[in-house]
Copies of this chain bind each other. A is one copy, B any other.
Amino acid sequence: MHRGRLVNEILMLLPTLMRFVERPSLVELGEISHHGIPMDVQVSPGHIQVLLALTRGPRSVGQLAQELEVSPPAATQLVDRLAEHGMVERHNDMADRRVVLVDYVPGMHEVAQRIMESRRGPLERAMRGLTDEEALALVKGLKLLAATFGATTGEEN
């Protein structure tokens, strides 16, 4: 088994995959127009991450930054954009008025769901070409890569 060869393949694959993943996709959102929201929205992977994180309940901006492993200003920006599109709201935490809690706008849960589906679709389709073992190995490998790169590249906080 030529590990070196595999490493080379990944070295060629990762940046290319990255560019594709990074490319923000236009999501068609027909029937919510009666909510006064534009018909389609540009969503980047980061936004999807936020929406996905919020499925487990409201989060503070800082928590979001930690979960996505980005700087606080980046989290602020992501929330800004989603708020502009009417997907999420900011509330003040009454317990600690410094923190800003982010949550779905009431009734937008399903819309968020649809937006996420637009990303999940291609992924699910891709994974149909993998056996269960391979799918598990893929996730395991991705986690390892993230951990290793994370450790190598600073990881300052």
Contact = CB atoms under 8 A, between A and B. Distances in A.
Q: Interface of chain A, helix or strand or loop or mixed?
A: helix
For A9, A10, A68, the residue with the greatest tally of chain B CB atoms inside 10 Å of its CB is A10
Given A127-B7, A137-B130, A20 B150 contact: yes
Given A8-B52, A68-B15, A132-B1, A126 B148 contact: yes
Given A11-B48, A137-B130, A148-B126, A21 B20 contact: no
B15 A142 contact: no
A12 interface: yes
Interface of A: 1, 3-4, 6-23, 25, 45-46, 48-49, 52-53, 67-70, 116, 119-120, 122-127, 129-130, 132-154
